[in-house]
Structure formats: C-alpha cells, structure tokens
Amino acid sequence: MQDGYALELKHVSKNFGNVAANHDVSLNVRHGEILALLGENGSGKTTLMNMIAGIYYPDAGEIYINGERVMITSPKDAFYYGIGMVHQHFKLVDVFTATENIVLGIDNGEKFSLKSSAGKIREISSRYGFEIDPEKKIYNMSVSEKQTVEIVKVLYRGANLLILDEPTAVLTPQETRKLFEVLRKMRDDGKSIIIITHKMHEVLTISDRVAIMRKGEYIDTVETSGADEELLTEMMVGKKVSLNIDHPEPHDIRERLVVRNLSMTDGEGVRVLEDISFSVFGGEILGIAGIAGSGQRELLEAIAGLRRLDGGDIFYFDPKSGEKEDLRNKTPLQIREMGVRLSFVPEDRLGMGLAGNMDIVDNMMLRSYRKGRTLFVNRKNPHKLADKIVSELEVVTPNVNTPVRRLSGGNVQKVLVGREISSSPTVLMAAYPVRGLDINSSYTIYRLLNEQKSNGVAVIFVGEDLDVLLELCDRILVISSGKVSGILDARNTTKEEIGRMMTKTGGVDEND
C-alpha cells in the first residue's frame, strides 16, 4: 500500500471560460510528508486543490491515489478516497456543537450517538494534540477553534491526505505554532498533508518539500532542506515581464491624504489593521501590495467612511484651498458634503460599487441622484454620462438601459471606473480593478488611472500582480497581516523584495 505516491496529478488542466486557471499541472505527494504549495494570488493553487477535493472537475488530466486512477466528482468521492480539504471559508453550522458539525452527513449505518462520537473526537484530538471541546457551539468559538473543528471533521472521516488552504492566514503566531505541531504529528502518523501558504518562513519551517506554481502553471518541486527564501521567491514571482504600461514620472506632487496610526477591528473583534501610517500625494499612483486578505479592503473602506476606526487619523488636504479636513469616522455622505471628492472602486463590483439589476443609467445615478432640491431624480445627466462612458470606454452593451449584471466583467468594470472618475475626483481608490478582466480592458483601466494621475489626482491602486504594480505605480506600500511592512520606490525595487515584504509576519517569528 505504501508503494508509489499518496497522490499523483498528471497533466491536469482547468479553464474558467477562456481563462486558464491551471495548465498542464503534474505534481505528486508522498506518503507521510508535508508538501507546501507556494504561489502568488491567482497562481491557481486553490483551483488545483479544489479538483482533488471534488469541488471542481478537471477539463483534462488524470488523478491517481495510491497508484490507482480515480475520478473525483464530489466531496463525497474525495472522502471515499481518504482526501479531506479544509477550506479557507469554513463550512460549519453556527448553532451546532463541534460534534454535531463533525458527524454531519455521515451515514455509515452505525448507531447514531453523539456521545460516542464525542468520545471518538476526543480520541483523535488526544492522538494529535488538538484542543477541542466537542460540546462547544461553533458561534462561541474563535477562528482557530473553528479551524480545529474543520481539521477534526476531515480526520474523523478517515482522511489520509489533508489539504489545508492557507490555514495560518487567520491564526496568531502562537496558534500557528500549535497547528504546526499537530501537523507534524499527523505526518509522523503516516498521513500526507498539502498546505497552501504564502508565508516563506512557514514554508521553510513546516514542509518537507515545496511545490511552486506561477500563473496557473506548475514550476517545480524542491526539497525544503535544499531551498532558501531567495530561491523560492524567485521561483514564485518569476522573471520580470515587460508589460509596457505607461509610466510617467510624477510631477508637482502635493500631499493629499495622510493616514496616521490607523487601527481597526472587524465585527468579530479580530484586529484587521494595526498602526497603519502613510501619505498619498496628488499626481502619483500609490500601489498597495500584499497577500489577499491582509487588510487592504478594510483600509480602503475605512478611508471611504464605511467602517469605524478604533484609533488613528485620516486627514485630507484640499488641493485648492490647502485646508486640512479630518475624515475620521465620517460617513460617506458627510465626506461628500465636506467637498471632498473621493472616488472608490471597490473590490465587490456588483455587490457594492453597482446595483446589478439596475441599468447603466441608474447606476450612474448612484453617486449623483441627490443633486438638486426637487423630490425627483434627474435621469437626463446620468443618461448623457452613460452614453459618454459607453462610447469613450467602448463598453459592449445593447444599450444604456441594460442591467449591468448582464454585462461581461470587463464592461462592468468600465462602467464602475467610468462613473467614479466622472466626478473629477481628487482621490481615487481602486481595489483589484483589473481582476478577472481581459487584456484589453485591463489596459483601458491602466490608461484611465494614468490619466487621473496626470490630472493631479492622488491614486491608490490595490493590486495582486507584482509586475503590474511595478510598472504602474510610483510608490508601493506593502502590507502584511494588517501592518505596513514597508513603502518602496517602484522604480528602484524588485519583485523579490516586494515578495519578501509581503510574506514577512513581523512580531513573533516562528523558530523551532
């Protein structure tokens, strides 16, 4: 049974529409090893793992478990082959206890007894050193406890191959250390583990081998003992690709927005931003780089007035009068009424930036409908604006009365960005504005951002592709786990340097 590999992928490919998420990936996992899967955001790691876990089905390629060719069409099939995946977003029923969640869906003909199940859970926990209270309700649990439940859920079903999708993203350094101890015990017990992570030092600490992916393709697998941070980073980010995005030197820059010591916790009391300080100048593009979920979204929403801060200040300097305005804990409406022209292209385009079932004209109105003293909305100007945006940005749509939900991703984004820059902003924030867009639409967006920059607008660009960040931005703020790990001059830095700063945890480092 221990012959060959625990898992082997051969020439696996997966496309979403015309985007190749995985292309010809071949990779293997040994029995009793921890394999780290390393890659930037969007390099196709999660898609690949979802195919093993039965969430997606590959377009081409073969999967072997213990040397046997298998078809995995559902999570149930995956369980049958002893594969269990712990997703980044937990799939748990809030009002159930740990035990109830763990046994959910199992119907093996055995007598149903939560008590004996709880016993079995305790047994698994003590074998691997988990700390888990089987009777505790999920909604009373911390994130790390919930994660433990997910892992035990997988083990309870007898998984021999565990896939953990960025398990440390939500954990404190102490919790991470505990998790790693558990993972080592499971490895010593003969189980195979695939762990997806971006954090370089974690890769080096926990894994036996590292498989690297870049832009949907498999690069190589190396023994961890023979690797170092520099080598891995280089493999992960690859050679610099020339994109030929316009990159004019900024001129006549003036301080526009100053963020000082900003801290914030989310709804569940988890600290998402800590002591963030930086300034943005009119006439430049400030890039924000970081692993997804490091606090970028929260930072922009805080500036836009959508979230309450715990501490810190946000100041705005009016470009004409030079007056200083305090934006801290102001609502979006108050910010607008103060005369601050702040535009925001949020990450969630249809769920936040636009109203999907409304047509293009009505979406134009979102920002301007309050204008005028009448009770009635004025659709004339929004209609003109919609026509203008459709023709200037070459939005492909039957007409301006088409609900935006029916447009393709690139066209949706053109509508949103077009609207946001139409109000001649002084600050423009854009979160992942080219995500999911085709090449042409992406270049349209870059061009628009550059135009704003040359108009003297302070542009904040949150991006994931480091090549783009380097070629589009003037300075790059690197954020890691809610903290600023550095601000770099985009013309005098490298992808490797950014990559290293993105994966720096800061504070307590793990060393054993």
Partner 1 sequence: MTGSVIIQFIQSSIAQGTPLLFGSTGEILTEKSGNLNLGIPGVMYIGGICGVIGGFLYQQSTTKVVPVLAVLIPLIFSLAGSLLASLLYCFLTVTLRANQNVTGLALTTFGVGFGNFFGGSLIKLVNSDVPSIALTKIAKAYKQPLPFADKLGWFGEVFLSYGFMVYLAIILAVVASWFLKKTRRGLHLRAVGENPATADAAGINVAKNKYYATCIGGMIAGLGGLYYVMDYTNGVWSNNGFGDRGWLAIALVIFSMWKPNLGIIGSYLFGALYILFNYLSVNIAMMHIIQMLPYLVTIIVLIITSMRNKKENQPPASLGLSYFREDR
Partner 2 sequence: MKMTENATVGEKRSGRNEKRSKEPLLHITKRTDIPLSRAIIIRAVAVVSALVFGGIVTIFLTGDNPISIYVTIFEGAFGNSTRIWFTFQQIAILLCISLAVTPAFKMRFWNIGAEGQVLIGCLATAMCMFLLGDIMPTWLLILTMTVASIAAGIIWGVIPAVFKANWGTNETLFTLMMNYVAIQLIECFLKIADKSGSNTVGPDKLNNGWLPNLFGQQYLLNIVIVAVLTAVMYIYLKYTKQGYEISVVGESVNTAKYIGINVKKVIIRTMALSGAVCGLAGLLLVGGTSHSIDSNLADNRGFTAIMVSWLAKFNPIMMIFTTFLIVFLERGADEISSKFGLNSSFSDILTGIILFFIIGSEFFVQYQVHVNKNHRIFAKTRKER
Rule CB under 8 A: which residues touch partner 2? 16-17, 56-57, 59, 69-71, 73-74, 76-77, 80, 304-306, 331-334, 336, 344, 346, 348, 351-358, 362, 365-367, 369-370, 375-377, 405-406
Report the C-alpha gap between 26 and 14 in whole angstroms. 13
Between 107 and 512, CB nearer to partner 1: 107
Q: Does 512 bind partner 1 (CB under 8 A)?
A: no
What x-and-dash track marks residues 99-128 binding partner 1 by CB under 8 A?
A: -x--xxx-x----x----------------
DSSP for residue 350: I
Order of strands across the sheet with 324-326?
271-282, 254-265, 311-317, 324-326
DSSP for residue 218: E
List all residues 6 or more positions away from 362 whose beta carbon is below 8 Å from its beta carbon.
355, 379, 382
Between 21 and 468, CB nearer to partner 1: 21
Between 51 and 479, CB nearer to partner 2: 51
Go through 99-118 and write b for each residue having 16 or more CB atoms within 10 A of its CB, e for each that does not: bbbbbeeeeeeeeeeeeebb
100 binds, among partner 2, partner 1, none (CB under 5 to 8 A by kind): partner 1
281 binds, among partner 1, partner 2, none (CB under 5 to 8 A by kind): none
Provide the token pair at 456. Answer: 């003297």
What is the closest distance, in whole angstroms, from the C-beta atom of residue 36 to partner 1 in the complex?
26
Q: Does 57 bind partner 1 (CB under 8 A)?
A: no
Provide the token pair at 179. Answer: 């998790």
Q: Does 137 bind partner 1 (CB under 8 A)?
A: yes
Q: Which residues pair with 132 in a beta bridge?
A: none
Q: Does 75 bind partner 1 (CB under 8 A)?
A: yes
What is the closest distance, in whole angstroms, from the C-beta atom of residue 348 to partner 1 in the complex?
16
What is the closest distance, in whole angstroms, from the C-beta atom of residue 82 to partner 1 in the complex?
16
Q: Provide Rg for the chain, Cα atoms.
A: 25
What is the closest distance, in whole angstroms, from the C-beta atom of residue 88 to partner 2 in the complex?
18
Between 251 and 373, CB nearer to partner 2: 373
Between 114 and 170, CB nearer to partner 1: 114
Q: Does 92 bind partner 1 (CB under 8 A)?
A: yes
38 φ/ψ angles, rounded to the nearest 5 degrees:
-115, 140
Per the listing, tokens 């569940």 go with 268
What is the closest distance, in whole angstroms, from the C-beta atom of residue 16 to partner 1 in the complex?
14
Q: Does 231 bind partner 1 (CB under 8 A)?
A: no
Per the listing, tokens 């005369």 go with 339
**66, 122 Cβ separation under 8 angstroms:** no
Provide the token pair at 99. Answer: 């035990």
What is the closest distance, in whole angstroms, from the C-beta atom of residue 218 to partner 1 in the complex?
27
Between 96 and 369, CB nearer to partner 1: 96
What is the number of other CB atoms lying within 10 angstroms of the CB of residue 374?
Answer: 7
User: What angle do the packed helices 173-188 and 143-156 form, to 10 degrees?
Assistant: 10
Go through 199-224 and write b for each residue having 16 or more CB atoms within 10 A of its CB, e for each that does not: bbebbbbbbbbbbbbbbbbbbebbeb
User: What angle do the packed helices 495-502 and 229-237 form, to 10 degrees?
Assistant: 110
Q: Does 16 bind partner 1 (CB under 8 A)?
A: no
57 binds, among partner 2, partner 1, none (CB under 5 to 8 A by kind): partner 2
30 binds, among partner 2, partner 1, none (CB under 5 to 8 A by kind): none
Where along the sequence are the contacts to partner 1 (CB under 8 A)?
A: 74-76, 91-96, 100, 103-105, 107, 112, 137, 139
